[in-house]
Structure 1
Amino acid sequence: MHTGKFKAGVLALCLLAIGGAAVAAGGFTESGKNEIVVDTFGDFGYRDLYAKYEQSHPGLKIVEHVVSYDDHHKNLQAHLLGGSGTGDIEAIEGGYISQFRVLADKFVDFKAYGVDPGRWLAWKAQQATSTDGKLIGLGTDVGGLAMCYRRDLFAQAGLPTGRGQVAAMWPDWRSYIATGKRFMAKAPRDVAWFDSGSNIFNAIMGQAPVGYTDSANRVVVGSNPAVKRAYDLAVEAVQAGESAKLTTFNQQWNAGFQRGSFATVACPAWMTDTIKQNAPQTSGKWDIATIPGGSGNWGGSFLTVPKTSTHRQEAVELAKYLTAPEQERWIFRTQGHLPSEPALYTDPAIVGYTNPFFNNAPTGRIFTTAARNLRPQYQGPKDGDIGPLIGLGINRVDKGRQQPEQSWRQVLKDVANATEP
């Protein structure tokens, strides 16, 4: 999931999804069971799977800790370098996997436990493979992109509502912005075209052949025209008055779904569950169409097992279970997270799935097609830090705090400071 990516970050939940106090990896319960700690940064949809796994493994108790996206990855970095404090299983988002890949010696190599990397999309497995061939992460989901939209709000603004008709209005991002102007001319009161300029930027960047870093690990934010193009398009839409001016994943953004504050949202597969959880009363009002540009990726994660785990074998087996095809299939049908194993993209249970919440949209076909068509983008060790800095720059323009070029200059300075050796 994202949270991707970027996943700017997720709301700090600071809760124990399965219960139990925070403990170091390798603890034991009062009943003497091995306690396996899973550290994540969002809802991966594992709660029911934990319970099922515990039933078939009576000697285990699984405890999940969930904290904010940024804090989770910062804590993991500190714990790895300090040599203690990690969970038995640590989730890592795709934007950060390169940063941890260079610390491959601190994670188990799943190949040594019989895992075949060929199960995953080739680019997905490569993201978690070190230069010396160690597989440090098992792919959970990918964030194949689509566009979620409110049919009822489109109708009120006089726009067509059918999926094919909607997709035809925005073959590219300039057409999407132009359609937004049409919507805003007749939009219901206090309803914007989209939620956040930074989310539009994330979606556009998710389609670029080269992102923030080139394959030689050089940061190219200032020299890659795709980054400035994505920034300029997002800012253009913001300055056209199409943004709800929300900050992704905070309480106001969550409430925006409930209030119907925006008509469209860039929608990687994991976003469908985010919408459903935030605004269950809007079931049937949403639908899903092809995203401008046709495909792309935003988000997707991995499960890793640090070597500091004292229940290493049990943690590896649990990670393998959670990412096995049967569980990935169940998670997609119940949570919407798209598997990263292409063998499942021809599975009738996935490709034939329709989602009643989204007006019975064929989400299986939509998202598997998006995943097949996306062009994988290289992720550098600093990409997890860079993305939020650009998002902040767009938010400054979105909220009228800086002019576009002034904010872009600050973005370049912030990125340079964050990526200095």
Structure 2
Amino acid sequence: MIRRKRACWVAAFMACVLLLGGCSIWPGQDDSATSKKAALTLWYWNRSIDDKLLAKAQEQFPNIQLTAQKIGGDFKAKLKTTLAARSGEPDIVALNDWIMELFPSEDRFYNLYDLGAGDIEDQYLEWKWKQGVTPSGQMIGFPMDTGPTALFYREDLFREAGLPSDPDEVSRQINSWEAYAAAGEKLKNAFGGKVFLTDNIGSVYNQVLSQGTDRYFQPDGTFLGLDSPLVKTSWDTAISFKEKGLLANADGWTPGWNAAMNNGEIASFVGAVWMKQVLQEAAPDTSGKWRVARAPGGDGNNGGSFLSILKSSEHPQEAFELIRWLQNPENQLEQYQTLNLFPSAPSVFDSPSMKEEEPFFGGQATGSVFAESAQHVPIAFFGERYPSVHGIITRRLNDIAKQNANPQQVWNDTVQRVDRELQR
């Protein structure tokens, strides 16, 4: 009888244990499902995210085990190869301004609106935010840095040529591409043709194009044609600079460009904020001689990055909270200070660090110029075939600049080549 009661008591006790175990955790019980961290892998390239900030993220998110992998070489090619293989994908990936090439693969990415992105949309520049949204309205790219443009110019060469040299006066007087060309002819005459206004024909075309809204395609995929007003104006402006002898024919990212900048053969160029570092490394002997003014013709943007979450991730909400923190206004300001990554969050534009004087630019605080530019960049649509069309045009422009090809013949040939490309 005693054994039977003991057996019944044990059975009842075990039943209670099982029942309670389904909805609670006993003290001292090791529940690996609860204590396990969300494992996230991040792909980025050198200087796209501050490594020290990534280290801080480990402290900020104790529930996340972050593996940050700095990918070298051709980042875009590696990502596309990985997407095609559908294996080895990271949870989070940085994307450069070629994000539009991935719009057809939007189903491979989480819609960040579904994860809460809409709650903080007003903290970021509208044009930058929209660059990460596909034509169907899915947000696949969270804003990182931007590349607002301005006019970099040699204050001493402008002054010697009788041109305005104070940044405010340059912004006021050289405010159009026509006025900029006129300044170039004055420079050429003043220095006997030994100093050129700017670097190359492709740069002129790109910068005029970046100041407009209608590039090559509409959001529905319709090709606007190369005779659209913006494209034709950009082409004609670039050709006119060549015909007037204002170009040094120095291609960017080459020793020739570096030498021309350092030797004073090029008096100015329109470029993005990240060109500050490029210029300082290329032309150290010119320190103190450069200034920055608003770009002739209007404001534009070159480059800038995004963060995306791939559908293969098992922890999309944790991934979103991480990228939201990495790119909040405070951390964007910190990365401006450490890596010169220009923020896409305008609330930090009035910060003291954005107004610091810079010795290379003669003590000018150039951050204010780029901040003003960033707030007036037009909203523009690119489309996934933008790179292929744009590449054809810029290559053909180089034929005109360096081989003295006939501009009208090259234009006709370019139209045909683009048509063939779009029929593929």
Please name the residue that 1:4 is paired with.
none
Q: CA deviation at 1:149?
A: 0.8
Please name the residue that 2:71 is paired with.
65
- Confirm or deny: 8 A CA contact 1:145 1:298 kept in the other structure: yes
Q: CA deviation at 1:288?
A: 0.3
Q: CA deviation at 1:358?
A: 1.8
1:420 to 402, 417, 423: 423
- Confirm or deny: 8 A CA contact 1:84 1:308 kept in the other structure: no
1:20-59 aligned within 5 A: 36-40=41-45, 43-44=47-48, 46-53=50-57
- Confirm or deny: 8 A CA contact 1:109 1:136 kept in the other structure: yes
TM-superposition CA deviations, 1:360-387 (whole Å, max 9, x none): 3332321222122232112222112222
**Aligned residue pair count:** 384
2:191 to 187, 210, 214: 187
- Confirm or deny: 8 A CA contact 1:144 1:298 kept in the other structure: yes
What one-letter code is carried by the residue in structure 2 that aligns with 1:212? Y
Distance 2:213 2:346 in 1: 21
Residue 176 in 1 paired to residue 188 in 2? no
Q: CA deviation at 1:314?
A: 6.8
What one-letter code is carried by the residue in structure 2 that aligns with 1:282? T
Distance 1:147 1:377 in 2: 21
What one-letter code is carried by the residue in structure 1 that aligns with 2:382? Q
TM-score normalized by the length of structure 2: 0.79
Alignment gaps of 5+ in structure 2 = 1-37
SS class of match (2:95): strand
Residue 320 in 1 paired to residue 358 in 2? no
TM-score normalized by the length of structure 1: 0.80
- Confirm or deny: 8 A CA contact 2:152 2:292 kept in the other structure: yes
TM-superposition CA deviations, 1:186-236 (whole Å, max 9, x none): 238753211111111111111123111123321224231210111111111
Q: Pick the structure with more helix per residue.
A: 2
SS class of match (2:224): coil
Q: CA deviation at 1:272?
A: 1.9
Max Rg structure? 2
% same residue: 29
1:11-410 aligned within 5 A: 36-40=41-45, 43-44=47-48, 46-53=50-57, 60-67=66-73, 71-84=74-87, 86-94=89-97, 96-115=98-117, 116=119, 117-131=121-135, 133-187=137-191, 190-308=194-312, 316=320, 318-345=322-349, 347-349=350-352, 352-410=355-413
SS class of match (1:140): strand
Distance 1:61 1:274 in 2: 30
Alignment gaps of 5+ in structure 1 = 1-32
Distance 2:366 2:399 in 1: 34
What one-letter code is carried by the residue in structure 2 that aligns with 1:325? P
Q: CA deviation at 1:239?
A: 2.1
What one-letter code is carried by the residue in structure 2 that aligns with 1:154? F
Residues 128 and 60 of structure 1: CA distance in aligned 2, closer, same or farther (over 3 Å) = closer
Structure 1 outlier segments of 4+, above 4 Å: 51-61, 85-88, 308-318
Distance 1:230 1:157 in 2: 27
SS class of match (1:245): coil
Q: CA deviation at 1:148?
A: 0.6
Residues 79 and 45 of structure 1: CA distance in aligned 2, closer, same or farther (over 3 Å) = closer
Distance 1:131 1:220 in 2: 16
